Structure 1
Amino acid sequence: MDGLVGTIGTAAAMFAGTNIDDIIVLTVLFLSARVGGVPRAWQIWAGQYAGIAALVAVAGIAALGLTVVPDDYVGLLGLIPFALGVRSLVTAIRARNAGQEASPVVATGLLSVAGVTIANGADNISVYTPVFRTIGPGPALVTVAVFAIGVAVWCAAASWLGSHKKVIEFVERYGQWAVPAVFMAIGALIVLESGVLGSGH
């Protein structure tokens, strides 16, 4: 029993520690859904689950000794949210020049949400891999189950954070500029923190 409680506690701490920045991304996505209508809430939930599942799968494969993506190149995934931010910013500029209102939409569906989740959590693989390598199949399944619960908690928390009237009013007023800026900043941070630009590749 102590072993199970310890595994659950470790998994919960690991999930929270490696996905704290996802709260920001998810909150922005839920705000975008409320203000602009896309992506839909179910697409955010499904995309987050798909993204985390992909990260866990890659970590599991890596734990078996197979390198799926060289560490030096993982940081390049940061170009995904950066590119989505740039695209949204360009759309906002075009809409402003045409005298129209632009909704703060960055990710438009399940796949783009999953892509942002994977990019934002690419560094998680380096944390998950040694853990999966050292624990047995039973604890690994418990860990994955805790992660699944963690995703639900994260999505619910982000949805709640994104439901406040003042926040929604802010996004309605400045979202077409603020939302792309957030995604561009996240993408840039992923690339810079990975060290891929200075790796000589």
Structure 2
Amino acid sequence: MDLSFIGQAAGLFTVTNIDDILVLALFFAQGAGHRGSARRIVLGQYLGFAAILAVAVAAAFGATFLPESAIPYLGLLPLALGLKAAWQAWESHREGGADEEAQAKESGPSSLEVAAVTFANGGDNIGVYVPVFATAGVGGMSVYVVVFLVLVAVWCFAGRFFATRPVIAKALARWGHILLPLVLIAIGLLILIEGGAFGL
């Protein structure tokens, strides 16, 4: 197997998913101290990325069950989750000093929430992956898929690593309930606006 080909796959994954590390760090910070939350986040990341790969591989073979015009509307997923998180943060703040109680009630993000954000945030990646997969052939495509799936684990590790560094963890514990909704809403709006959804 050509190492330069693996390097190309790793490079493509890195440039198209660099923003996921921040989102993962926020998810890991949100789930800190909750049993099983890390497992749910990793599972959600894999589910979301597997869905991206499935659509890209299918499109490379000529199937178009996700029209290109629908991709910008994927921004509604992180936007809705961001608004939900913002509402929960506002509710706990309004109840005054209920932060600890709210954190005790929360179990961190669900696998489906993480998968939805991952898929929506990677919707534009599909447009990049399809021509690459189509020209790589079945063997090359398999290498890309394997390298990508290995790097998803690396991304999850990096996200958790950043979320557990004392300085970053302290900042995320203090500001994470504000940052997560803002980041999700920003991702959602960016996807909608860049894709021209609703004539934006």
TM-superposed deviation, 1:147: 0.5
Structure 1 stretches of 4+ with a deviation exceeding 6 A read none
Counterpart residue number, 2:9: 11
TM-superposed deviation, 1:120: 0.5
Instruction: Spell out the pairing of 1:113-128 with structure 2 (5 A cutoff).
Output: 113-128=114-129
- Please give the TM-score of this superposition, normalised by the length of structure 2: 0.90
CA contact (8 A) 2:82 2:180 kept: yes
For structure 2, which runs of at least 5 residues remain unmatched after alignment? none
- State the distance in 2 between where 1:24 and 1:34 align: 15
Q: Deviations over 1:68-113 (max 9, x none)?
A: 222122011111111111111111212222222144x797211111
- State the distance in 2 between where 1:61 and 1:178 align: 35
- State the distance in 1 between where 2:107 and 2:194 align: 22
Q: Deviations over 1:123-181 (max 9, x none)?
A: 01101111111122111111111001110111111111111112222222222222211
- State the distance in 2 between where 1:193 and 1:52 align: 21
Q: 1:26 aligns with which of 24, 27, 30?
A: 24
When residues 72 and 65 of structure 1 are mapped into structure 2, their CA distance, relative to the original with a 3 A threshold, is same
Counterpart residue number, 2:199: 198
The one-letter amino acid of 1:13's match is G
CA contact (8 A) 2:72 2:196 kept: yes
- How many residues are paired up? 196
Q: Does 1:69 align with 2:70?
A: no
Q: Deviations over 1:41-92 (max 9, x none)?
A: 0111111111111111101111111212221220111111111111111112
The one-letter amino acid of 2:169's match is I
For structure 1, which runs of at least 5 residues remain unmatched after alignment? none
Instruction: Spell out the pairing of 1:86-97 with structure 2 (5 A cutoff).
Output: 86-97=83-94
- State the distance in 2 between where 1:175 and 1:112 align: 16
- Please give the TM-score of this superposition, normalised by the length of structure 1: 0.89
Q: Secondary structure at the match of 2:63?
A: coil
Instruction: Spell out the pairing of 1:1-201 with structure 2 (5 A cutoff).
Output: 1=1, 4-34=2-32, 37=34, 40-99=37-96, 100-101=98-99, 102-103=102-103, 108-198=109-199
